Amino acid sequence: MSKRIRRVCKCGCKELVKPKKEFIRGHNSRGVNHHNYGKHKEDNVCYKQERSAETKEKMRIARIGRTLSEEHKANIGNSIRGEKHGNFGKRGPLSHLWRGGISTGEYCISWADPVFKEYIKERDNHECQSPLCRKNCNHLPLELHHINYIKKDCSTGNLITVCCSCNSRANHNRKFWQKYYEDIMNKN
């Protein structure tokens, strides 16, 4: 019978780590000075380090008069707009959804009519029409969903009442949700 050798975390906290590990989860970025963080915050020299009044005053004076030029502000703004935006750029996690910076299109004229929207919700009994709804949406507001994702097509056959949770889910895997809601409308 072989004994497992338990090692001590390399961050310096002196706690035992899991077999084949060097650090306790999250401890590898702490360093030796952070060994008490999380256990005894009051003992940690880095936790809520108080600065002297003299140091605070020096820092305040150093910031006085520092302003960004208009050019610098514009560069910051331009660096995160359009295709350079982290979520929608060429390499961003949502790059497959990028449509050249177009986020909102124009809706049809009847979309602004609250009576029209109420008619659609009344037709659907003021309930989320998705059978896959998590059914804990009674507290969530109801929204109208464009089945074919064309905002200008506000025909009654293209609109369905769903909760905001189901409406959000329908923005991913659009081909599935379009067929799914078309089948629901065809059954009615």
- The backbone torsions φ and ψ at residue 80, rounded to the nearest 5 degrees and listed phi first, read -115, 10
pLDDT per position in the chain (188 positions), as tens? 556 667 888 777 777 888 778 777 777 655 444 444 445 555 555 555 677 889 889 888 887 888 878 888 777 777 666 555 555 444 555 555 555 555 445 778 888 888 999 999 999 988 888 888 876 666 778 899 999 988 888 888 999 999 888 888 888 888 999 999 999 888 87
Residues linked to residue 16 through DSSP beta bridges, in sequence order: 8
Structure tokens at 120: 């659609």
Which positions ≥6 away from 37 have C-beta within 8 Å? Answer: 30, 44, 46, 47
Domain ranges in the chain are 1-63, 67-101, 109-187
The whole-model pTM stands at 0.46
Q: In whole angstroms, what is the distance from residue 154 CA to residue 27 CA?
A: 55
Cβ(30)–Cβ(37) below 8 Å: yes
Q: In whole angstroms, what is the distance from residue 37 CA to residue 30 CA?
A: 8
Predicted local confidence at residue 74, as pLDDT: 79
